[in-house]
Amino acid sequence: MADHNRSKKIFFLYALISLSFLIFLAVMLATVLKPRHIPSIYTKESSRAQRGSIISADGFHLATTKKLYKAVVDTRYIDPDKKNLFIELFSIYSNIPTETIKKKLAKRKGVVVLSYNIPEIQAHYLKKLTRELRRFKVFLELKNKKTGLRSIHGLSIIESGESREYPYGKLLTPIIGYPHKVEDDGYTSIKGVKGLERRFDDVLEARQNGLSRGKRDVNSYIILNKESFTKAKIDGLSIKLTIPIALQIKLEKMLDSMKKEIRAKYIMIAIMDSHKGDIYALASSNRFFPKKIKRSDYPSLNSWMIEYSFEPGSVIKPITFSLLLDKGLVNPYDLVNGHNGRFKMGHKTITDEHKFAWLSAEDVIVHSSNIGMAQLSQKLSGYEFYDGLKKFGFAQKSTPDLIYEKTGSIPTPKRLDNKIYKATCSYGYGMRANLMQILRAYSAFNNNGRIVYPKIVSAFVDEFGKEQKTPYEEPIQVIKSSTAAIMKRILIKTVNKGTGKKAITPGIEVGGKTGTAHIVEKGKYVKKYNTAFVGFANDAKHNYSIGVVVIQPKKSQFASQTAVPVFKKAVDILIEDGYLMPKLDPNVIQKAGRSNKHLH
């Protein structure tokens, strides 16, 4: 009986051990087969590429991109006993007042965005703060009700977008232009809308975002080896301009002052190297802050140098005269009847401000005679006149570096066969042009008869500072070099003895032509005017074409009282900044030497 009981006990113990082992195997099998949330041994890191900058000729960043970050926290994970510690530390690191943080945390329970606009440097320090907050156990480890897993969700600093910055405010607007924001999967990027920002948007925009993927170490850093994958971040190219910042600043300040003095609606000036086409300044009196555009800024958003098309008036006379000279249809010393300031052509009466009985053909330019030019222009056929204006670049784009150009218009060859249309067009009415077109045309008189393309962007620059120079457009020979030389002499005479006397600058070769034209409103000429002065200023080494347009000056309707003084002040600034070096009169130098000797 005892042996029987002992056998039963042994059997029962054996069965119990077997059952336990089977249960153990079943649990192990279930553990193996059941999906588990094991931390991955792989990780990845991404980095967003940035938009390129706009850089002045002397290396100043006029438009740059800065990355923005947002700070996100889940309030459920903040230890209530350490909430104040979190608020104080975050306030110190972010420069956000503690009261503001408290209000944001109190608004809702769960995920809260504490800031959307954290600069990159601040984000760097806030990322350090997140690690310190974990070390001080400011955040709790909570169990996820769905997964049953415990985790900590602390403070997260997430790259949220980019912001376009303009360190010099209104400088060089509207040429630089402005951008707008584009949302892409929660990331705010920048697209150009106007000016250089729009024209070179495809060059400036980020090329390729960076990505690294591979096994991680104990600190969650990627182990870079043969198994890892890395795609380099490639930022957008920067564009370097031909315009130096110091010169631009001085010219803009001068225009601000002159706008008040001559009570003008708008003044603009362009300065260009006559031989190469490099633009040294594009200045406007009406500018705006690209980041804070107001409704009152809307008229100033356009690049008026190319987007304002107007009847140019008498600045076209040298163009017409050069066509006549080039074809041998006129001699500078031919006599022209001035009809004492009043001349009837068909049903139209043409008048002159200054009355002349007779004057030489070149003095038609010097003293800006509409009557003289109306008669001389009849020597050109309609096609010759039309073709000549086209060759000088009118009614076509002036530069590849700006966008949305209003190319203006010129009458058809058939219309120019009509003597009245031919006469009015010869002195700048019945056609439309912009400042850059006129400046380009005038470069022929200072460049042996060749016109150049205005060039604003000198190079593309990568993130390592390597420059890729942009090519120059080929100059176009529009008149003979001998014709250009005669025109240059006449334009210098116009400054020294004619309508441009206020532009005289001792030691500098200055030539140019004034122009005044009525403004058309609702199809009729009104008592409002645009004035212009376009010409050149040269020293022994430098040759600049300079164009000034004044929109609706109230001080005077004459260019000699409005546009010419602006031109003169610009030349003075060029001298002051070393872009022009006056040739001093030896007699003046000798007198100065004697005075100094006397003082000693």
Would you state the structure tokens that stand for residue 441, as one six-digit string?
A: 């045309």
Cα pseudo-dihedral 420, 557, 397, 460, rounded to 10: 170
Task: State which H helix or E strand residue 268 sits in.
Answer: strand 266-273
Do the domains at 42-95+111-135+157-241 and 245-290+302-462+472-576 have one common CATH topology?
no
| In 95-223, alpha helices (H) | 98-107, 120-135, 195-199, 201-204
DSSP state of 264: -
C-alpha–C-alpha distance, residues 270 and 255, integer Å? 12
User: What confidence score (pLDDT) does residue 41 get?
Assistant: 64
C-alpha–C-alpha distance, residues 41 and 163, integer Å? 35
C-alpha–C-alpha distance, residues 133 and 85, integer Å? 9
Closest by Cα among 295, 134, 232 to 462: 232
Largest Cα–Cα distance of the chain, in whole Å? 159
For residue 165, the tally of other CB atoms under 10 A from its CB is 14
C-alpha–C-alpha distance, residues 291 and 295, integer Å? 13
C-alpha–C-alpha distance, residues 252 and 12, integer Å? 104
Closest by Cα among 410, 404, 315, 326 to 365: 315
User: What confidence score (pLDDT) does residue 37 get?
Assistant: 47
Closest by Cα among 351, 388, 392 to 373: 351
Judged by DSSP in three states, 117 sits in strand
Q: For 230, list phi and psi in degrees, rounded to 5.
A: -135, 130
User: What confidence score (pLDDT) does residue 436 get?
Assistant: 98
Q: For 54, list phi and psi in degrees, rounded to 5.
A: -110, 120
For residue 415, the tally of other CB atoms under 10 A from its CB is 15
Task: Give 509-558 as a 3 state SS string.
Answer: EEEEEEEEEEEEECCEEEEEEEEEEEEEEECCCCEEEEEEEEECCCCCCC
Whole-angstrom CA distances from 287 to 173, 174, 176, 295, 401 are: 5, 6, 11, 13, 20
Would you state the structure tokens that stand for residue 591, as one six-digit string?
A: 């007198």
C-alpha–C-alpha distance, residues 139 and 555, integer Å? 71
Q: What are the mean pLDDT values of the chain's consecutive 10-residue runs (600 residues total)?
A: 64 72 70 52 72 96 92 90 90 91 89 87 87 85 74 83 93 95 84 96 90 62 67 90 98 98 97 98 96 91 95 97 97 95 91 91 96 97 98 96 96 96 96 98 98 97 94 96 98 96 97 94 88 97 98 94 97 97 68 44
Would you state the structure tokens that stand for residue 291, as one six-digit string?
A: 């980041």
User: What confidence score (pLDDT) does residue 449 get?
Assistant: 98
Judged by DSSP in three states, 228 sits in coil
User: What confidence score (pLDDT) does residue 141 get?
Assistant: 84
Query: Whole-model pTM?
Result: 0.83
DSSP state of 83: H
C-alpha–C-alpha distance, residues 350 and 331, integer Å? 23
Closest by Cα among 54, 451, 402 to 277: 451
How big is the CA angle at 510 (ends 505 and 511), to the nearest 5 degrees? 140
C-alpha–C-alpha distance, residues 557 and 314, integer Å? 13
User: What confidence score (pLDDT) does residue 336 get?
Assistant: 96
Q: Which superfamily does CATH assign the domain made up of 245-290+302-462+472-576 to? A: DD-peptidase/beta-lactamase superfamily (3.40.710.10)
DSSP state of 178: -
C-alpha–C-alpha distance, residues 258 and 494, integer Å? 23
Any idea which architecture 42-95+111-135+157-241 has in CATH?
A: Alpha-Beta Complex (3.90)
C-alpha–C-alpha distance, residues 537 and 273, integer Å? 10
User: What confidence score (pLDDT) does residue 140 get?
Assistant: 87
DSSP 139-172: B--EE-TTT--EE----EEEEEEEEEE-TTTTTT
Task: Give 304-366 as a 3 state SS string.
Answer: HHHHCCECCHHHHHHHHHHHHHHCCCCCCCCEEECHHHEEEECCEEEECCCCCCEEEHHHHHH
Query: Any idea where the domains of the chain sit in the sequence?
Result: 42-95+111-135+157-241, 245-290+302-462+472-576
